[in-house]
Amino acid sequence: MNSDRWLVLGLGNPGDQYASTRHNIGQMVIDYLASDVKFSNHKSKTQIADFRVAGKSVVLAKTLSYMNESGAPTKALADFYKIAPANLIVIHDELDIDFNTIRIKLGGGDNGHNGLKSLTTNFASPDYYRLRMGIGRPQAPIDPADYVLKPFSQPEKKELADFIARGALAIERLIEKGLDYAQQEFNK
């Protein structure tokens, strides 16, 4: 396995109808990171862009499948580049964290998140990094499954650009300085 290269996956759903939804916050961070580079289609059914952080090679990725099927394309991409789960970072929405809050961790359960469940199943391991982007829980009677597929509210949109930029910075810190440093800076 290649221990020098990283794979950073932004979870989300394909298509314009999902592009600005809470469920696609992971892909929004990837797009921010890749603002100066071009995406290309990879045979693993992902879109990828080459990126560098602190001299390290990084593959930025978005799957072309729906979130609950993201594990197989991501595993195929990781195998192609020979990247172990120890060098995989997944950016995803998190209902159990307040909006505009970031948490970074290594491993853990899927907490009902079907994208994480698909990744853990396909990698046969939960031991990959997670950049958890808080979207908050909906107020009843909105079903969480419907909530994640809705665009951010007007008040949230005012903070969204900064939230996405902080998510991108958290990825860079994690790769450059390691988990402990990144957690101290962002898990507040």
The values of phi and psi at residue 12, to 5°, are 170, 180
Residue 64 has pLDDT above 70, yes or no: yes
| Residue in 23, 42, 92, 113 annotated catalytic | 23
**109-139 pLDDT, tens per residue?**
998 899 999 999 999 999 999 999 999 999 8
More confident residue, 118 or 188: 118
56 phi, psi to nearest 5 deg: -95, 140
Helix ranges (H only) for the chain are: 25-33, 71-81, 114-123, 144-147, 154-177, 179-186
The domain segmentation of the chain, as residue ranges, is 6-186
**Residue found under tokens 């560098």:** 52
Active site residue 23: yes
The CATH architecture annotation of domain 6-186 reads 3-Layer(aba) Sandwich (3.40)
The model's pTM: 0.96
With a cut of 70, say whether residue 1 has pLDDT above it: no
